[in-house]
Amino acid sequence: MTEQLILVTGGTGMTGSRIAHRLRARDVPVRVASRSSACRLDWADRTTWNAALAGASAVYLAYAPDLAVPGSDDVLTAFTEQAARAGVGRVVLLSGRGEPAAQRAEQAVQRTATTAGLAWTVVRCSWFVQNFTEGQFAGAVRAGELALPVDDVVEPFVDADDIAEVAVAALLDDGHAGRTYELTGPRALGFGAAVAEIAAATGRPVAFRPVPLAEFTAGLAEEGAPPEVVELMVHLFTEVLDGRNAAPAAGVQQALGRPATDLTDAVRRSALAGSRA
């Protein structure tokens, strides 16, 4: 029997780092892999895949920069095939809600895993609360104003710690094979309301300002964001955030038997709440 070793791709990112932390706390052997990790894995460089997969019994798949990038389904098909050849028994895919390209990637992983005899689980997530507190928009929140090209759309922001707990359960326990969990927070909130709750929870003054898309993309370009990042943001704000994902889903309750964490509670635990600098 293969010894237990969990490969966490994107293991330095928002979800992967939480998963690796939880697995280590349970004394489960973990290998973190990303471009900057001791075990170097680059989705764009297939020569790095074998070393990352060697000896792994299960894999957390967090594709970067985003499943919306054309060809992500092909890369994940090839990686899952290689994982099967390396003796991996189980994969857990991080995916995005209401995104056609992400759903194509899910199908590619499900199909390939099923054919190769691997168990699979999909964690299909809404917008992470942590985008505001440690991800792309944390700098603006810290600086006191978040300007985004959204108006009254609502989103049930999900806590990355909830995602990590579901992923860990799916990586370790047999009962989650073949399941697709829709992971969201318990309440849908507009961005203005979310920012107001973040301000209250952290004790920081933070304003929200809706801006036209052109102003937003010009600002990103000015800050030096590469064109592909600008393109991803346009896709996110024009297609994904059109209200299609407004309804909260029951994935956290289904997977963990407890309610999803509220945005305010997730923000109170964040570093942003701990430091006022």
Min separation Cβ 21 and ligand NAP, Å:
13
- With CB under 6 A, what is the number of residues at the site for ligand NAP? 28
Does residue number 67 form part of the binding site for ligand NAP (CB under 6 A)?
yes
Of the candidates 2, 29, 35, 226, which one interacts with ligand NAP according to CB under 6 A?
A: 35
Spatial distance between the Cα atoms of 135 and 207, rounded to a whole number of angstroms:
18
State how beta strands 145-148 and 119-125 pair: unpaired
Task: Tell me which stretch binds ligand NAP (CB under 6 A): 122-130, 145-153, 171-179, 251-259.
Answer: 122-130
Does residue number 248 form part of the binding site for ligand NAP (CB under 6 A)?
no
Min separation Cβ 1 and ligand NAP, Å:
29
Does residue number 96 form part of the binding site for ligand NAP (CB under 6 A)?
yes
Residue 106 or 201: which CB sits closer to ligand NAP? 106
Pair of tokens at residue 128: 């992470």
Q: How many CB atoms lie within 10 A of CB 268?
A: 15
Does residue number 20 form part of the binding site for ligand NAP (CB under 6 A)?
no
Min separation Cβ 48 and ligand NAP, Å:
8
Based on DSSP, count helices (H) and strands (E) in the chain, helices before strands: 13, 11
Q: How far is CA 276 from the centre of its chain?
A: 26
Q: How many CB atoms lie within 10 A of CB 220?
A: 16
Spatial distance between the Cα atoms of 67 and 102, rounded to a whole number of angstroms:
5
Of the candidates 53, 125, 249, 266, which one interacts with ligand NAP according to CB under 6 A?
A: 125
DSSP 3-state of 97: coil
**Closest residue to ligand NAP using C-beta atoms:** 13
Task: Tell me which stretch binds ligand NAP (CB under 6 A): 111-119, 121-129, 146-154, 218-226.
Answer: 121-129
Site for ligand NAP in 132-151 (CB under 6 A): 135
Write out 145-167 in H/E/C secondary structure.
Answer: EEEECCCCCEECCECHHHHHHHH
Handedness of CA 222, 207, 152, 267 (dihedral sign): positive
Of the candidates 49, 60, 79, 127, which one interacts with ligand NAP according to CB under 6 A?
A: 127
Does residue number 180 form part of the binding site for ligand NAP (CB under 6 A)?
no
Spatial distance between the Cα atoms of 104 and 208, rounded to a whole number of angstroms:
34
Q: Which letter, b or e, does each residue of 105-117 get, where b requires 16 or more Cβ atoms within 10 Å of its Cβ?
A: bbebbbebbeebe
Does residue number 15 form part of the binding site for ligand NAP (CB under 6 A)?
yes
Task: Tell me which stretch binds ligand NAP (CB under 6 A): 33-41, 201-209, 253-261, 263-271.
Answer: 33-41
- Chain residues binding ligand NAP by CB under 6 A are 10-16, 34-37, 41-44, 62-67, 94, 96, 125, 127-128, 131, 135
